[in-house]
């Protein structure tokens, strides 16, 4: 991601000041928002930032300052390894600690921690620090990991990564609650250990990250977890089916079926004009999709995705495939367009059961574009509360 426009601190402060004055204005002076169906909450998710020498975190920090005052609910930072695209995000706990110092309102979320790559006790320690720095604003999405190269960090966990995820997740929640776990020291002697510092929140809010795997949706529902998903290799109708499985699994487990949160990641750019918005994102989103497909091809040759199979069926020529994916994303699986289109898209996703949309903003647009888009979208963010 390259920034062709530099936003000064004064310009950012001016945008935030405008938001504060709008929030403080008497109701009669505020722009009228037409009555509409309830919208999902809006959060921001980062996923693709380039590991570059010049300011890889400028966009993250300035967006965080802005959305903290603009009615958005949370900021998600991912865990990604050994690839330039996304390489700025190897440790979401470190980034969340930085965000804790410059925000007051938004939830600080890992989206996601690839838990089988780590000792769950270290994860508990790191995020308890962030929970204290943020005064209890931490949420964690947990994932099994997917790229075989990432598992150079813990190669022994790759084959059974889903089982490892569940076992590590139990240990993480256990020590977060203040219940010691037993570990062996270097001499083989058992010790009961409890992690410090103790977190502010007595219970750790947990999301499980999944897309197509129906059994994962059912597992999350039956165990009372939230879900973070993205429209990867499936569309809104398939999403609706999986949300139904999730709600029914909650109900069968004796839980309130409506209480769990389904968070959906969507590429987001809201322009002043719908056609202009699509053409604005076309070069950046096309490059993003090419990189994404390339990573899927190399992730695990023994487990090719449908997207990779489709690409191979085109005889190695990915241009038509990328155009097809771009059209699908813009038409059915994104928040790309003008404000009215964004509102209608949010209403559609709320209608299929999505509780929160995580707006992916770092796919190649410059900072000025991103902040202008979020300024427009803030009207909908405030109305979702």
Is residue 27's pLDDT more than 90? Answer: no
- Give the CATH number of the domain where residue 217 resides: 3.20.20.30
Span 197-209, pLDDT tens digits: 999 999 999 999 9
Task: Assess if residue 362 is contained within a domain.
Answer: yes
Give me the pLDDT at residue 233, please: 80
Which residues touch 164 (CB under 8 Å, ≥6 apart)?
115, 116, 144, 157
Task: Assess if residue 12 is contained within a domain.
Answer: no
Which residues touch 287 (CB under 8 Å, ≥6 apart)?
364
Task: Assess if residue 22 is contained within a domain.
Answer: no
For the chain, how many structural domains are there in total?
1
Q: Averaged over 205-214, what is the pLDDT?
A: 96
Give me the pLDDT at residue 52, please: 54
Tokens of 335: 């928040």
Q: Averaged over 180-200, what is the pLDDT?
A: 98
Span 258-273, pLDDT tens digits: 999 999 999 999 999 9
Give me the pLDDT at residue 312, please: 45
Give me the pLDDT at residue 234, please: 86
Domain extent, residue 351, equals 37-277+336-383
- The proportion of the chain whose per-residue pLDDT surpasses 90, expressed as a percent, equals 71
Task: Assess if residue 347 is contained within a domain.
Answer: yes
Span 273-329, pLDDT tens digits: 999 999 999 998 888 777 766 655 555 544 444 444 444 444 455 677 778 778 877
Give me the pLDDT at residue 322, please: 79
Task: Assess if residue 222 is contained within a domain.
Answer: yes
DSSP SS3 for 109:
strand
Task: Assess if residue 307 is contained within a domain.
Answer: no
Task: Assess if residue 296 is contained within a domain.
Answer: no
Task: Assess if residue 167 is contained within a domain.
Answer: yes
Which residues touch 218 (CB under 8 Å, ≥6 apart)?
245, 246, 249
> Do the beta carbons of residue 172 and residue 118 sit within 8 Å?
no
Q: Which residue has the higher pLDDT, 39 or 291?
A: 39
pTM value is: 0.85
- pLDDT confidence bin for 18, thresholds 50/70/90: low
Mean pLDDT lowest among 20-29, 69-78, 375-384: 20-29
Is residue 239's pLDDT more than 70? Answer: yes
């Amino acid at each position: 991601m390259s920034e062709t426009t530099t936003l000064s601190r004064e310009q950012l402060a001016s945008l935030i000041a405008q938001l504060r004055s709008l929030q403080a204005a008497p109701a009669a002076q505020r722009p009228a928002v037409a009555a509409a169906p309830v919208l999902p909450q809006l959060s921001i998710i980062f996923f693709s930032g380039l590991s570059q020498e010049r300011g890889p975190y400028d966009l993250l920090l300035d967006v965080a300052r802005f959305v903290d005052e603009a009615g958005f609910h949370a900021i998600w930072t991912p865990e990604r390894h050994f690839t330039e695209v996304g390489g700025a995000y190897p440790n979401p706990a470190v980034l969340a600690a930085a965000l804790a110092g410059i925000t007051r309102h938004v939830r600080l979320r890992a989206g996601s921690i690839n838990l089988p790559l780590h000792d769950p006790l270290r994860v508990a320690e790191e995020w308890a620090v962030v929970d204290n720095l943020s005064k209890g604003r931490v949420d964690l999405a947990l994932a099994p990991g997917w790229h075989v190269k990432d598992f150079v960090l813990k190669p022994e966990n790759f084959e059974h990564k889903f089982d490892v995820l569940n076992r590590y997740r139990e240990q993480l929640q256990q020590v977060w609650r203040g219940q010691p776990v037993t570990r062996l020291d270097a001499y083989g002697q058992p010790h009961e250990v409890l992690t410090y510092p103790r977190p502010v929140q007595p219970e750790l809010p947990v999301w499980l990250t999944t897309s197509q795997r129906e059994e994962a949706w059912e597992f999350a529902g039956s165990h009372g977890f939230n879900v973070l998903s993205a429209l990867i290799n499936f569309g809104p109708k398939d999403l609706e089916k999986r949300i139904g499985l999730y709600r029914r699994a909650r109900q069968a487990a004796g839980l309130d079926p409506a209480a769990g949160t389904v968070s959906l990641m969507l590429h987001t750019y809201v322009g002043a004009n719908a056609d202009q918005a699509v053409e604005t994102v076309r070069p950046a989103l096309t490059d993003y999709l090419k990189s994404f497909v390339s990573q899927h091809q190399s992730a695990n040759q023994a487990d090719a995705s449908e997207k990779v199979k489709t690409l191979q069926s085109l005889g190695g020529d990915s241009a038509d495939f990328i155009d097809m994916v771009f059209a699908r994303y813009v038409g059915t699986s994104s928040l790309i367009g003008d404000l009215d289109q964004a509102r209608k898209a949010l209403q559609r996703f709320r209608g299929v059961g999505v509780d929160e949309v995580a707006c992916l903003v770092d796919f190649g647009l410059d900072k000025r574009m991103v902040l202008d888009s979020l300024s427009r979208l803030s009207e909908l963010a405030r109305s979702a509360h």
